[in-house]
Amino acid sequence: MTGRQSLRLLGLITGMVLSGCAYGLDFIPEEKDSPRSSWPVTQEILRSLQEREAAVTSLQAVLDLTVRRRETQEYRQEVVAIERPDLIRLESIGWGGFTSLVVASDGRRLIAHALLENIFIEGSATPDNVAAITGLRVAPAHLVRLLLGLPPLSVRMEKTELYGPDDDHAYLLRGQESPFTQRLWLSDDDLSLLRGELYDGTSLRLRFRYSPAGHGLRMLFLEEPFKQLTVEVSYRSYNVNPDLPRELFRIPQPAQGARVVNLDAGLAPLLRFP
């Protein structure tokens, strides 16, 4: 999918969030002057958001990444294939266009294979293990959804609250999916997803926001505040809702002679992506 049609579609999917609403949940209190949206308005907004999300399930793209960690900065190019709910494959492109690193998850297992060094890292697809490789403490499903322009958590009717709009013309949507909580800010104009925060309990794990990048494209910014890590993601090319072969997400066995690092055994990885 290319041209104006695909640009419009990508602009659409990066403004999507899921539906749901409920009252009386155990959230961190908002500011006292934050108005709760009425139940009819909440239902209408969440129904519209749910219809939008149903339009996107998978993505194949070439991404340009700018990674900033404290005082260092690095540029990378990645080929990504993702499919909801939690299938993901990332390939780092090195000099000469050769693949230097493969990261893949089938939702249950996670691997990272550095081809040149022949280092094979494996473990359960937990947020802790994802953090050991990427620096971002999220589950594969969180990352898949963010790259599709969706919030990291599903928003369910019984575990969501809606506030606003506020003086910045944005609605605040909050939802839970144990042990995580998310706060999302949506434009009151077209309900596009502007920015958000992901918490593990009461600890802030991730900030993210979307920003226009010309021709209807939107850039994704990820920030891990504790480790002072930020990742800027721009879409060089993409194909929305492709039919992706299952082999892309199959977890391979370590190559012969590979140095194997088992994350579940508490071993530290010898490389880091991004």
Domain spans in the chain, listed from the N-terminal domain onward = 3-56+145-240, 58-62+73-137+243-265
At 182-208, the pLDDT tens digits run 999 998 888 888 999 999 988 999 999
Q: Does 11 have pLDDT greater than 60?
A: no
* CA trace torsion 121, 125, 131, 135 (10° rounding): 80
pLDDT: is 89 or 97 the higher one?
89
Overall average pLDDT of the 225-240 stretch: 89
Q: Does 216 have pLDDT greater than 60?
A: no
Q: Does 174 have pLDDT greater than 80?
A: yes
At 51-95, the pLDDT tens digits run 888 889 999 999 999 999 888 899 999 999 999 999 999 999 987
Mean of the per-residue pLDDT values of the chain = 81
Whether the predicted model's global pTM rises above the 0.95 cut:
no
DSSP codes, 17-76: ------SS--PPP--TT-PBPPHHHHHHHHHHHHHHHTT--EEEEEEEEEEEETTEEEEE
Contacts of 15 (CB under 8 A, 6+ apart): 52, 149, 187, 190, 191, 192, 193, 210, 218
Quick one: pLDDT at residue 253?
Answer: 82
Quick one: pLDDT at residue 109?
Answer: 94
Q: Which of 10-19, 23-32, 160-169, 177-186 has the lowest mean pLDDT?
A: 10-19
Overall average pLDDT of the 3-20 stretch: 33
Contact 115, 252 (CB under 8 A): no
Q: Which of 96-105, 107-116, 152-161, 196-205 has the lowest mean pLDDT?
A: 152-161
pLDDT more than 90, % of the chain: 41
Quick one: pLDDT at residue 254?
Answer: 81
